[in-house]
Chains A and B, each alone.
Chain A
């Protein structure tokens, strides 16, 4: 048992980080470790699903581990467990639920990062999705990341260290830890050992997830996710009549909207009620009317945040479907060219053979490009319905 169990198939990163955690433990104990092993800011990069944020959490656990032997990160002490579950007093995790991380949020975070750790070990600040930092937010963070207090560590996660994702000024202040896509075998064994998934299901999920650990886990345990994947992968061969275009597009969009409502509905209502109570709704007696006067604005703010969260859920859900679709056309292209490369959806090999027999290489490529263009379009705020329908039209026409 160790905190590194959570990190799937990343031996190099684990070696670097556990050495750093050892050095960190030496610093806490009052010693002087070899220079350059531990540092104050880290940037974890890797493709989606490679486990950037779980690696960052595991590292935070290792830093907070209270068992003082020479290998910190036991995974069972209070320090490790609370850090992994996000309840440690000295581990601050920023997980953007909306579309971006604001300056105000980062300014507050900079203040927190300046405090001494209450447990006497390390003050850890984790920013998941650092690519969602707005330009202003990234600038607000610069000073703190460049020269944080003695015992503060920043852990940033982003898809890559490309300037599109992380500003160069932030990038140059961090040590880079790059994670690769984990191998299917590693994912399967992690699903078996950590989540207790039956071996056959684990093998299957690992083979179709495209190196995305979270996706593999979801597919392995969630019946509905498997159904969704099936219905998405059925689309390419189901487009026969022109009218199918709209049925399929409708299906995709409805599924995404449904995801957004089911994921957020109960939570929205609870948040609303909590805020209303906090602003004095439902109170009686003198002064209650005056107390609730400012509530409207606060409620409006909350609604705005909730809307941004719903948009994000909807886009994420659509993106997942589009990635699956792109995988299918890639498979068709792989089959068409007779390449030996591994398929993204090995369980759909029959379909990709059919597709490869029907379509020319150019038309498969055009379809693949339409899917990728649709992903980009949704990212730049095109109405999902318009973007998806345009894409499915191309999928139909080829």
Chain B
């Protein structure tokens, strides 16, 4: 068996992945020495002598895993101590440096690069922001737990649980163990109900396509989750005016319209599809509705919840008139 890496660098802000990387390093060290110790320290609490003591070999050569957390806040002298240790690492000591990738001082910003140069095993744990990546993550989680999930199930699970990776991972492994491996939409619905995250944009999208039930449902969820009224109102206004603007110029190639309209092509393409159900007078009415709503949610209406619902219903009605 090959000796485990004695220097690890974990870069990124995704908490769960960082935690897993640290655990993996510890497990690798424990394979060599089952009694290996884990020590976590914040770099800001350290002094150079303390660090030197931590990483020096012990009398009986017991294994040790030292985790330096929040290395993005490291001071110059600690960084120097780390780098000088890295040049002459001690036997049986595994050093794991956890760094967000940012940092304010020069020493802290340069640390990851220098550790990479020194031959550290790098684990990237960047925050997952794209929906595609999140879906891949869920699929992986289910597979790791020994189960299977279809694309529809992935979407349902993310809808119901939210975007927090820790919660997604926990839900995935729980589902696998509850369902003997095959995770379907029905199984997910049995354990998870509702929606974890609804944005104003989701409400607006349903409203301008004339989906009355869908829009109202999304709106109620959004209000339940405490999405600010102003955000929903702004999303509605933006959706309506985008459709109005795009339909006003007539049908044309989204890419050639992008410049003059000042919108990205994908937005134009979507708006062109949404514009099919609208006529000019309906759009004009919808513009008045969202303008009135903007005043309502800023204190004109006594009840902003009611004002939002009424506005959504009116937009859907204006859509259906065609």
A contact residues vs B (CB 8 Å cutoff): 241-243, 245-246, 377, 380-383, 386-387, 389-391, 393-394, 396-397
Task: Apart from A245-B244, A393-B287, A396-B284, list 20 A-B contacts with CB within 8 A.
Answer: A242-B280, A243-B250, A245-B248, A246-B244, A246-B245, A246-B248, A380-B298, A380-B299, A381-B299, A382-B295, A386-B237, A386-B290, A386-B291, A390-B287, A390-B290, A390-B291, A391-B291, A397-B280, A397-B281, A397-B284
Considering residues B237, B248, B299, which has the most beta carbons from chain A within 10 angstroms of its beta carbon? B248
- Residues in B lying within 8 Å of A, measured CB to CB: 234, 237, 241, 244-245, 247-250, 280-281, 283-284, 287-288, 290-291, 294-295, 298-300
Q: Which residue of B lies closest to A383 (CB)?
A: B294
Check A377–B291 contact: CB distance below 8 A. yes
With A386-B290, A387-B294 in contact, is A241–B234 under 8 Å at CB? no
Chain B residues positioned under 8 Å from A246 (CB to CB)? 244-245, 248
A393/B288 contact (C-beta < 8 A), A380-B298, A382-B295 known: yes
**Contacts of B247 on A, CB cut-off 8 Å?**
242
Q: Find the A residue at minimum CB distance from B245.
A: A246
**C-alpha spacing A242/B282, complex, angstroms:** 13
In the complex formed, the residue of B with least CB distance to A385 is B241
Residues of B within 8 A of A242 (CB): 244, 247-248, 280
Smallest CB separation, B200 vs chain A (Å)? 14
| Distance in Å: Cβ of A221 to nearest Cβ of chain B | 35
CA distance A393 to B278 in the complex (A): 15
Q: SS class of chain A's interface: helix, strand, loop or mixed? A: helix
Q: A380-B298, A383-B234 are in contact. Are A389 and B287 (CB under 8 A)?
A: yes
Minimum CB–CB distance from A22 to chain B (whole Å) comes to 49
Instruction: Quote the shortest CB–CB distance from A114 to chain B (angstroms).
Output: 37
Contact B288 A390 (CB under 8 A): yes
- Min CB distance A377 to B, Å, is 5
Among residues of A, the one whose C-beta sits closest to the C-beta of B288 is A390
Q: Which residues of A contact B283 (CB under 8 A)?
A: 393
From the candidates A241, A380, A391, A393, name the one contacting B295 in the complex (CB within 8 A).
Answer: A380
* A–B pairs, 30, beta carbons within 8 Å: A242-B247, A242-B248, A243-B248, A245-B244, A245-B248, A246-B244, A377-B294, A377-B295, A380-B295, A380-B298, A380-B299, A381-B299, A382-B298, A383-B237, A383-B294, A386-B291, A386-B294, A387-B291, A389-B241, A389-B291, A390-B290, A390-B291, A393-B244, A393-B283, A393-B284, A393-B287, A393-B288, A394-B284, A396-B284, A397-B280
CB distance from A2 to the nearest CB of B (A): 47
Contacts of A390 in B (CB 8 A): 287-288, 290-291
| Residue contact B248 to A241, C-beta cutoff 8 Å | yes
Sorted nearest first, the 10 A-B pairs with minimum C-beta distance are A390-B291, A242-B248, A243-B248, A382-B294, A393-B287, A393-B284, A390-B287, A381-B298, A382-B295, A386-B237
Residues of A within 8 A of B250 (CB): 243
- State the CA gap A283–B300 with chains docked (Å): 50
CB atoms of A382 and B245 under 8 A apart: no
What's the nearest-Cβ distance from chain B to residue A322, in Å?
A: 14
Q: Which residues does chain A contribute within 8 Å of B234, judged by CB atoms?
A: 383
Which partner residue on chain B sits nearest A392 by CB separation?
B287
CB distance from A391 to the nearest CB of B (A): 8
Q: Check B288–A243 contact: CB distance below 8 A.
A: no
A299 to B45, CA, bound (A): 32
B-chain residues with CB within 8 Å of residue A243 when the two chains form the complex:
248-250
Q: With A and B bound together, what is the CA distance between A377 and B291 in angstroms?
A: 8
A397: B residues at CB distance < 8 A: 280-281, 284
User: Are B300 and A380 touching (Cβ within 8 A)?
Assistant: yes
